Structure 1
């Protein structure tokens, strides 16, 4: 592939071809970068924010880079470009409400914390570059941000991802706070997309196979229950999972089960209040309420030395009190609860004012034992929670790496992106689980010059530790037991979970798609499906069917979006109305007009994981019929400003009326098919071709940078010609068909251009050989056909039939037509490039300074040494010590040095020991009798 490097002002700085060691790396919570290595003839230093674009993502240089000089004409580059997420390493996490500070604590849910992170990244970007993708749901949590960068705020041990027990990952400029899982499952295995598969220990994560659960102590009376904590129905003290596979790995857990205890969820039926006066004369209000649904007497279940507590679930009192609960008293005579007030300050009481209980409020009483039915229900819920916890965290501790088969990946369009769902196939590794393992890609390293060739890593978990493992925070594993069905907390089985389906849990949407056959798209199963009898509808003349060999028979097939086939066979003529453009295309599904006057165009996805191929600065066009009686078409011309591949969305700006054909431009419309016609800056995207039934021709164009075409844009026309100025005064009949080619059309017979001039055909004879030149079939220079040969990496055209000259500089029989036409010189030192100061200052017997080295000039032209053709009189030397008058005098003195310049200490200048450097530059002329070439080079001491 070709690598284009731009500066931060979008100016092209360098174009190069990366070598095979160049890679693109993506890792969940790790480095996302492009490592590019290449050689180049130009010395181009790279500055901070110089960038490349790959798959719609801009990768930038984070620090100044200078290439390594290999020789006088070659530079080695080994530079790393970082994905946008790495801007977080240089961006402070600030809070800007009521002032700006980098030391603060923030209380909020996952989305609120992520929005704060996004706001800081957009602050640094200077616009709304970053946006929020998928976010988990969880309770509010407080995170302390103390002078941290956004990278640590996201991925640190106390960062956002760890706090909410999930992963944080980027898809371009979209940030997700959830387990990195996406896409339909793709199957990969040895010789099925992978050339190898290896199992490695994932030492970054912890796991267990034996769990010692600790039940809640709430509402447990040890004197009656026999235990101080809630127990499993079987009274087991531990449970096992996969001990036979991974051995005994013990762990204990308490917090996950803290909310499972014998409990009753009551409802406030009525409320009353009484005004009272304290012994100190202070007036206060006492609130009482009844619960008609509570059929048992709390007095019968009190626990000695514990106060009754009420925890409101809904209403104004929810979350209030001491640690979220109110102390209470039970009045057996009136069957009422009395709420004991709390006083935040000297003038406020709660309940009080508008913060009071109301009929319909839900509450949970605690700090007393419960009737047996609630204890039994709590034990069953505890068992379910322990089993699910064990299933969730007793996972495969290994990670699996494999190298892709690039041909398979390309043929099957297999996505190689982090988070992609993968079914790894291996009887050796997964023989006990059906020969496969469902997992996802956690790291991928692709070859930059072949993105289908990669090394992928798949694992269940990334290195966050099992207590904060992916997408399974403690909040999602805290279970509550309710007496009434409408109060039951629903347990959701996610895609990656191994929980057992029951009447007490449900599949998530993605788990359902993964488990059940789809009705909205093509699907399949490894299990047997039985249908009714197959009927050949071609014979019956009615009905439809799909046969075991895959054949389908239908009366009519209507496809609303796209039909993709390998071959179409017709039994009659096929007709296409209108124009057909061979370029990137898409259909507009939805349009948003933004405040800045630009449009967001949402393109229809033609197949699963369809990603638009449009790029920034594409000159694009669409046309739609107004559907009235005139049958007029509205044309819309626009330029692409930004491409959001994850949303299949383009941000575009319309061209003014005066810049489009016909002088009238219209806004884009839903249903409009749009296509690329060129690109404003990228020369590689300025060509396209189309077939027009209206114009009666096939046109191939290039160099298109704007909607209105110029004559130079027409490269090839087959059919009726355009009325171009270059055809003026030629016998052209515009009702007839022609073939026009702006360049050279290669064919076996004589070629004549549109002016009637014979175009000479070049006949490649391979590498030049003196034996061939002297043979019976020598090199020829005919009127219609001219032989060409290759010599020293250059292509030469024969000028004289039968010439035996060697193709080289100043040859009369050959002319160089391809290769390096630049005359260059190199300078070498007879004694190397490192000199001892004492050696330089040595003198001979007469007292003169000795010659410590000679600078020798070598010439190169057409990749051949032409030193012998350079005259000594055509070589001049100059010196640069910073003293202009002395340097000029030195040049006159050494004017006759020729191709070899002898150096002594005198040549370095009188103040040599106090200066930083002394440079010598050679300029050489190369003459051939008709012209001359000039080249120069220099060395510095």
Structure 2
């Protein structure tokens, strides 16, 4: 009898008792029988029990959700979400979307390669094992190939959090049974000289391949070593790194102790505690170099001869996406831009827009007489000794010389007369042009055929001195 039929029969029984009109018709027997029928129904009724364990064989709809457990930590919410403290999955978990609210932590080494979970291990022969891999869904099949090198790590579950590793070479793969026949490597062929036997529930990854070069690379991140590591040409468990070649193709993070970094670390060029990027080649649209303080390192850009119509910079170039400092050639010197931007500012001595990096110390003075270079004794004459200061090929203006002091000295065989003349021409008292008269500026001995010389000395604020001398003879 169905649930609806049982309810209908009970309803008819109670209706008959209720509607009975004959005196003494509803005896205790009839009423008792009705209650007993009700109790029998309740004993077998398909309701969820509150006083004992129960099973419901039909779909149960909890429209307002549910709270499970005495502490109420597990909640099935009306919006379809589940709130709980932890989830333990014996098999596989498939998520259409995974949202991590706070943080995700990867402990140990995380590999990006073929992998599998060992369901069972069968020891078929000496050093040979048949590994059957767990299927995480119906169409899941192992992706290992023959000659693949497999690495498995098993947590020893001890206080020190140690683990043991096992290394296998795949001999053959059976996709129907999702299994692989493997050979155990000798301990001497494994890192550390020790190899363990495979166990069920272990996760194994493809480390490399003994033959197929397309399967001899592995890319993984190690939280223990603090680096991302990319290996190539891996054809055995032990990684090679010597003068004949290296499996280390690149890394991001703390530098490993390999041939490519060992000498640089020993010489202090690299630090074992600082992260680096190492690859055979790097392709980048924008490359910005900074120092250890985070300040940009400028790239020098030779712009050829200076042009008044061009803009020069020391800073970030929006067009070329990098930090540059422009350099130009001008007046026989090599100049470097010293300001964020300048245009039409000629590179010259004392121009703070530019710094002279080649030729700046090549100062010299040209001293020329306006009246020629030969004068007769007994004749009166006057000439201007014109001193011109040059920076390489560039003539300096008097305004550029600025605070430099100019000193004129007379030198002849009349020492007392020279000293008296020098006192009348103290440092800075005259400019770069000196007027010399035969009647006032020459010693008396000059008339008898001696020589007299005039020296100009230019002293710049930094202490640098430059001099030139002109001799007058008759």
Question: TM-score per shorter chain, which class?
Answer: 0.3 to 0.5
State the TM-score, normalized to the length of structure 2.
0.43
Q: Which has the larger radius of gyration?
A: 2
